[in-house]
Amino acid sequence: MNEKYDCFISGAGLGGLLSSAMLTKHENRIFLAEKLPFLGGRFTSHKYEGFEIPTGAIHMIPHSQKGPLGQLLLHYLQLPVDIQNVENYTEWYWPNRKQIKHKSFLGIFKALPKRSQSFFVIKKLILGVRNSKHHTEPFHEYLEARTKDPQVFQFFNAITGFALSLDISQLSTASMFRFLIKLYQKGRPGIPIGGCKEVISTLANFSIQNRLGNMQKNCELKKLELDGSKVNLAVCRNLNTNEEFEVKATNFILNLGHFQINDILQNSEIPFRLPSAPVAKGGGFAFRSNTSILGSSAVAQFPENEYFKGAVEPTMVSPNLAPSGKHMFLTHHIFKSNDVVRDSRRARDEVLATFPQLEEEDELVIHTFHKNWPVNFASQGNDLANFSSEVDNLFFVGDGFKGNQGWVMTEGVAYGVYQVVDKILSKKHN
C-alpha cells in the first residue's frame, strides 16, 4: 500500500471507531484495521432468535447524554443517535423490604438501612469526598474503619459488582469516590434506541461518509516499525488470505488491551512496556420473556446476593432489541473464584430464586469474561491516565486508558479518545 495515511488505528471497538470519526471530521485519512469479522468489539450486539444479544455492554450508556460519550456523539459529532434516560437511577431489591426507587443520586442512600443513612450521607460521605484523594487503601478498609453494619458493605458491593465487576476490596477508596462523584455530577444512565450496535454503525457510517480512507475487517495488526524515534509503518495480516502488508501513517492509535499492546511492542522491538494491569471478571445471562420482568428501565440491584448483583431490561426503552411484544432481561454477576462454571451456576441459581417467573428454558445465552480477552482491558482504577507512549506518534485508547478520573466503561473510553484526538490535532496545527 503506497498511500501514507494521517492515522493508522488498530481495533474497531468503540475506542477505535470514535477516534476514527473524530479524526475524519477534521479531514484526516485513516486506515482502520479490525481483526474480527465485525465492528464494535464489546460494544455491539448479534441477532439471535430476534434478540439483539450484546457482545459485552448491556446497551447502557452510564451517564446518558451528559457524560463524555453522549457529548461526543451528540454535540462534537452531531450524530443522529437517540439516547433515552432510564426511569430511575437504580431500584433496590432487599429481601423483606419494599422495593426502593430513586430519581436523584442522593436518593440512592435511601437504599441503605435506616440506621446508616444519616451517618453516611451527612457525615462520612461529605468528609470522605473532601479527603478522598489521599485514601489509597481499598474501599472495604475505609468502610471497616467507620462502620460495622454488614448491609453497608452489601450496598456498595452491589454497586461496584454491577457497574465495575469488582468487589469493594478490589477498588481503592480514591477510585470509589471519583466514581461516586461522577455519578452525582452526571446523573443516571441512558439507553440508545437500537442499542450499542446502532451507535457503532452510525459512527462507522460517519467515518465512511467523511472519506475515511480504508477500513478492513479480518485484519490483524502484527507489529510496528520504528524509523528513528517514530513509528513509520504497521505490519498487518489479512486473516482471510494470510497475506501480510504494510501501512504507512503519520500517527498510530492502538485500541487494544495492555497485554496485546505489550505483545505488539515486543514483536516490534520497541523498548518499553505498559505496566501489567489487573482485569475484572464476571458474566451474565440474557433471558427472553413475554412480559416485563422488572417493570422498569432502571438498573435493578440485589445487595444480598453473592454473585448476581444487577439486571436491566433495555427493551423497556428500546423495544426493537427484541421481537415484537417480547422483552430481553440481562443480568450481571461477578466471579468469586477461578471456577467460572461453578460460579456461573451459582449466579443462575440466584437469578432464578430472585425471579421465580423466569424459566431455565428462557435463557438465551450466558457469557463470561475473565482472562485477557474478551475482557475489560484493565479494571477500574488500574486504567492508565497516560494516553501517549514513549514513542512520539504512538497513542493508546480504550478500556485500559480511561484516565483514572472516575469515568466508567464507555464514558472513560470516550474521555480517553478525546484526549488523544485533541493531542493529534493540535500537533498537526502547530
Ligand X SMILES: Cc1cc2nc3c(=O)[nH]c(=O)nc-3n(C[C@H](O)[C@H](O)[C@H](O)COP(=O)(O)OP(=O)(O)OC[C@H]3O[C@@H](n4cnc5c(N)ncnc54)[C@H](O)[C@@H]3O)c2cc1C
What residues line the site for ligand X (CB under 6 A)?
10-16, 33-36, 41-43, 56-58, 60-62, 220-221, 255-256, 260, 284, 369, 376, 398-399, 409-410, 413
- Identity of the residue, 142 or 396, whose beta carbon is nearer to ligand X in the bound complex: 396
Q: What is the closest distance, in whole angstroms, from the C-beta atom of residue 42 to ligand X in the complex?
A: 4
- Identity of the residue, 16 or 128, whose beta carbon is nearer to ligand X in the bound complex: 16
Q: SS3 of 260, please?
A: helix
Contact 272/390 with Cβ under 8 angstroms? yes
Q: Residue 208: is it exposed, middle or buried by C-beta count within 10 angstroms (0-12/13-18/19+)?
A: middle
Q: What single DSSP character describes residue 211?
A: T
- Identity of the residue, 43 or 109, whose beta carbon is nearer to ligand X in the bound complex: 43
Q: What is the closest distance, in whole angstroms, from the C-beta atom of residue 107 to ligand X in the complex?
A: 22
List, in sequence order, every residue forming a beta bridge with 357; answer none if it has no partner: none
Q: What is the closest distance, in whole angstroms, from the C-beta atom of residue 11 to ligand X in the complex?
A: 3
List, in sequence order, every residue forming a beta bridge with 212; answer none if it has no partner: none
- Identity of the residue, 67 or 303, whose beta carbon is nearer to ligand X in the bound complex: 67
Strands (E), 115-229: 190-192, 213-216, 219-227
- In the bound state, the residue with its beta carbon closest to ligand X is 13
- Identity of the residue, 132 or 175, whose beta carbon is nearer to ligand X in the bound complex: 175
Q: What is the closest distance, in whole angstroms, from the C-beta atom of residue 112 to ligand X in the complex?
A: 25
HSE of 7, CA atoms in CB hemisphere, 13 A: 32
Q: What is the closest distance, in whole angstroms, from the C-beta atom of residue 54 to ligand X in the complex?
A: 7
Cell triple for residue 295?
A: 417493570
User: What is the Cα–Cα distance from 116 to 111, expressed in whole angstroms?
Assistant: 10
- Identity of the residue, 142 or 308, whose beta carbon is nearer to ligand X in the bound complex: 308
- Identity of the residue, 132 or 380, whose beta carbon is nearer to ligand X in the bound complex: 380
List, in sequence order, every residue forming a beta bridge with 333; answer none if it has no partner: 283, 308
Q: What is the closest distance, in whole angstroms, from the C-beta atom of residue 151 to ligand X in the complex?
A: 26
C-alpha 103: how far from its chain's center?
Answer: 23
Q: What is the closest distance, in whole angstroms, from the C-beta atom of residue 236 to ligand X in the complex?
A: 7
Q: In degrees rounded to 5, what are phi and psi of residue 407? A: -75, 130
- Identity of the residue, 40 or 303, whose beta carbon is nearer to ligand X in the bound complex: 40
Q: Which residues of 98-115 are buried (b: 16+ CB within 10 A; e: fewer)?
A: eebbbeebeebbebbeee
Q: What is the closest distance, in whole angstroms, from the C-beta atom of residue 425 to ligand X in the complex?
A: 20
Residue 266: Cβ within 10 Å count? 12
- Identity of the residue, 43 or 387, whose beta carbon is nearer to ligand X in the bound complex: 43
Q: What is the closest distance, in whole angstroms, from the C-beta atom of residue 85 to ligand X in the complex?
A: 14
What is the enclosing helix (H) or strand (E) of 340?
Answer: helix 340-354
Q: Which one, of 156, 37, 54, 16, lies nearest residue 369 by Cα?
A: 54
- Identity of the residue, 124 or 217, whose beta carbon is nearer to ligand X in the bound complex: 217
Q: In degrees rounded to 5, what are phi and psi of residue 309? A: -105, -25
Q: Which one, of 7, 54, 34, 2, lies nearest residue 395 by Cα?
A: 7
> What type of residue is 110?
K
Quickly tell me which residue has 482504577 as its cell. Answer: 381
Contact 312/300 with Cβ under 8 angstroms? yes
- Identity of the residue, 147 or 201, whose beta carbon is nearer to ligand X in the bound complex: 201
Contact 303/110 with Cβ under 8 angstroms? no
Q: What is the closest distance, in whole angstroms, from the C-beta atom of residue 358 to ligand X in the complex?
A: 19
Q: SS3 of 359, please?
A: coil
Contact 369/56 with Cβ under 8 angstroms? yes
Q: What is the closest distance, in whole angstroms, from the C-beta atom of residue 367 to ligand X in the complex?
A: 7
